[in-house]
Structure 1
């Protein structure tokens, strides 16, 4: 049976650095500015021979429950309640503060086992801070350097002592060897058959949009709990936080991302890191929900985000959020659908759903459209059907003649899915006009029911077996 560890402490003591060290990847944003982490982040971790879940938390902030610091503190208290053990980080370099003593009292009242960790122990003069940690009454502090990976063996021993050897080493006793897992099965598809969609595989969904569009509120309403920090302030979310959930028995991983402003407005390094984290979430996801504010939709940044998703090859779905604030809904919805078709021609047929993260309106339909888009994104068309289609479209609208020579369309096949990608073999591919290429792409999308996802059509010239060979003399 595994266990869970929460990393807690005041701001800027190195909690996220230690989290990244235990996880083995740079998942959490790290910056010199205090208070970078706001939401709690959970991930599988390992320390020498221990296997466990670790939760990164926001630093202890004093403030009323309705304020942003108060809501951050509530998220930290939830993390401590979920954990079996708390790693209480203090800064050995700068010594104890009043916030450290306050946090020590909170942890004592929680009744959870606590391991006191003195981070930044590699710094000059850190010995004094290490001895000061005894004043907290939580026992001897374990000196570590999360930045350089020092002292992790001692930390492992302290965790085993605090939680018990039987619980800590249960993974080894069960024979739990690490196995490489993937949610993408590679199968040979017989010629002429189209594989059925597998609705048992996990689904990865990223929620993106401009700041204050209601992304975190939408995820909280979907999962049915206050999992993510929300509020009227713009730009609350900084890290891309993953939330595991189930919808109608299917495993879903949701990624909440930071609001993405126009590039010219992003000046601070921390915001650049947040946007970079959001872009990584888009690349990792399968379906990307772009949250529009129904009161001010189709800002230039909204359109650029959808275009970015299309260029990355992800499957976009638009959610018109804050629908509870709209008065004339029928007229507004018709206008939004018309503008969607007109302003986003590169993703013809993209699904757009009115929702309200505040009330829960339209969320079931949003998930249904997400699954429908994911099916299209994974669709494979048999080669025989494609070549019959190619003959028909070439007869209906033949390719143009360039320099007196007509371009011949020879063969087409689907090279990949996720998104659907096709390879067209033709004579002189460099001479085929872009307008005719768009005609073929739109015909593919319409005839094979591929709405709302990027469709890639690549050209290549046929192989000439006699190319480069000298002509035989008689």
Structure 2
């Protein structure tokens, strides 16, 4: 197991900037205002010849335990308890504050080795302010500039002196933690579910603010890993959590709540939503979490349509089901609305659950793996064309300018989602209604409910058409 290092300190000292520098990607949201980071975030880091796991934490503040700041501090204290080394970061330009001295004492009492990191020392004033770190009594401060990459060699030397084992792991490949939001290649790699998963199944939990996404993930993994509370919009960064369900590896992604685009004015919320959209783009299964009291509002429909456009497998979950009184009527109404408002995702799993009371969690995961299996389904070409022949016999395509459109054959060109190529003449003239007819027939005949289905039209070239020859 690789060594674990937690970056702690008061708000706005540059913890997330250093985290991004160490992992080599802009994973954590960074802004000039304090208190941007709330949940603790993990990533695989490299620094010179060192390889280790780094944890970004929320800024430490003195507050009541029940308040949001108090719950954020509890998450940071949990990171300190789990790590092997603490990087206690101070702002060298601002100098030491009473809060720095208070939380330095917290780090000292943890019993973990501590390195004082004096950030923002790119200027002469900042470099001189780094010497104030000696007064904390935690050893020699290491002056760095996380934004400009200065002092990284000194930080590497200080870490290697305390965690020499980290140097032995430097040649290993960095795992794909948070790769879902980095835009890396290799998304078509196969996953074997029964014989052992080559890599974890990526599942993104999305929805409107305060739908209960973080609470659901905490219930699934059985621990208070993510920050939760009655306040809407607590989650900002997309946080990945590794989990195993029935011997199957899963990487869960908690995302920020997505409001209507017109209502998003704050820069931080724009960054949070953008981070969540990247999570959808690189996930394999997306769980759209709805509030049972008000399901399928306009924003829910737009989010579901986004998932369909991105070609992800979708599972719709009605959360807070324990608060519903007339469950049979509510579920029937929800199914009717789903089929009527989202015909392009007809047949997608609709699951009822309660993250707070931990009801329906197994049903959710079973539906997730069923959706993933459907998303990977491949139809043999011979079987596909026997079906196509029957379809064309009962419902031939319409004529265009007196000439009937001829469809010769069809084949599946890829999965994830299922993608079919149709070959024939004048296929560009096929009306949308006939294409929907083909898609619905494929969905019903070959048992592909709820997954996006793609059709590509490939018309033969006319040898007597000069324009065709010029192309």
Q: In structure 2, what is the Cα distance between the partners aligned to 1:157 and 1:185?
A: 38
Take 2:42 and 2:91, find their aligned partners in 1: how far apart are those partners?
A: 23
Contact kept, 8 Å, 2:187 with 2:282, in 1: the verdict is: no
SS in 1 for 2:288: strand
* Contact 1:2–1:170, Cα closer than 8 Å, also in 2: no
Partner in structure 1 of residue 256 of structure 2: 258
What's the CA shift for 1:466?
7.1
C-alpha displacement at 1:169, in angstroms?
2.3
Matching residue of 1:344: 342
1:308 and 2:303 matched: no
Partner of 1:190: none
Aligned-pair Cα RMSD in Å: 2.0
Q: Which stretch shows the higher mean deviation, 365-374 or 58-67?
A: 58-67
Task: Give yes or no for the alignment of 1:377 onto 2:379.
Answer: no
SS state of the match for residue 315, structure 2?
Answer: strand
User: 1:381 Cα shift?
Assistant: 0.9
C-alpha separation in 2, matches of 1:470 and 1:356: 59
Deviates more, 1:217-226 or 1:131-140: 131-140
1:49 — aligned with what?
A: 49
Q: Which residue of 2 aligns with 1:134?
A: 134
Q: 1:44 to 1:155 in 2, by over 3 A?
A: same
Aligned equivalent of 1:74: 74
Structure 1 contact 95–128 (Cα < 8 Å) conserved: no
Question: Residue 418 of structure 1: CA displacement?
Answer: 0.7
SS in structure 2 opposite 1:129? Answer: helix
* 1:362 has 2:357 as partner: no
Q: Distance between the aligned counterparts of 1:76 and 1:88, measured in 2?
A: 12
Q: Does 1:217 align with 2:212?
A: no
1:145-224 matches, cutoff 5 A:
145-163=145-163, 165=164, 167-171=165-169, 176-178=171-173, 184-185=188-189, 200-201=197-198, 202-224=200-222
Cα distance, 1:162 vs structure 2: 2.3
Report the Cα distance in structure 2 between the residues aligned to 1:358 and 1:313, rounded to whole angstroms: 30
Query: How many angstroms does 1:61 deviate by?
Result: 1.5
- How has the CA–CA distance of structure 1 residues 366 and 112 changed in structure 2, closer, same or farther, with 3 Å as cutoff? same
Structure 1 position 199, deviation (Å): 6.2
Higher alpha-carbon deviation: 11-20 or 339-348: 339-348
CA distance in 2, matches of 1:393, 1:470: 30
In structure 1, the residue matched to 2:286 is 288
After superposition, the Cα gap between the structure-2 partners of 1:236 and 1:272, relative to the gap in structure 1 and judged at 3 Å, is same
Cα deviation, 1:316-373, whole Å, max 9, x if unaligned, reads: 1111000010011112111111111111111111111010000111110010000000
The separation in 1 between residues aligned to 2:18 and 2:364, in whole angstroms, is 37
Q: 1:307 to 1:199 in 2, by over 3 A?
A: farther
Q: Distance in 2 between matches of 1:418 and 1:41?
A: 29
Residues 41-60 of structure 1: CA deviation (Å, up to 9, x unaligned): 01111100101100000000
Question: How many Å separate the matches in 2 of 1:84 and 1:432?
Answer: 63
CA gap 1:284/1:8 in 2 versus in 1, 3 angstroms: same
For structure 2, the 5+ residue unaligned runs are: 177-185
Q: Distance in 2 between matches of 1:431 and 1:380?
A: 27
1:249-273 Cα distance to aligned partner (Å, 9 max, x none): 0100000000000000000111000
Question: 2:209 touches 2:256 (CA, 8 Å); kept in 1?
Answer: yes
Tell me the residue number matched to 2:325. Answer: 327
Number of aligned residue pairs: give it.
459
In structure 2, how many angstroms separate the alpha carbons of the residues matched to 1:280 and 1:130?
Answer: 38
1:119 aligns with 2:114: no
Provide TM-score, normalisation by structure 1. Answer: 0.93
What is the Cα deviation at residue 170 of structure 1? Answer: 2.8
SS at match of 2:235: coil
Shift of the alpha carbon at 1:197? 7.2
Q: d(CA) in 1 for partners of 2:22 and 2:364? A: 36
* CA distance in 2 between partners of 1:462 and 1:396 (Å): 24
Counterparts in 2 of 1:467 and 1:404: CA distance versus 1, 3 Å: closer
C-alpha contact (below 8 Å) 1:101/1:136 kept by paired residues: yes
- Mean Cα deviation higher: 329-338 or 269-278: 329-338
SS across alignment from 1:252:
strand
Question: What are the Cα deviations for residues 160-208 of structure 1, in whole angstroms up to 9, with x where unaligned?
Answer: 1123x3x232326xxx443898685469xxxxxxx99766342100000
Contact 1:93 1:124 in 2 (8 A): no
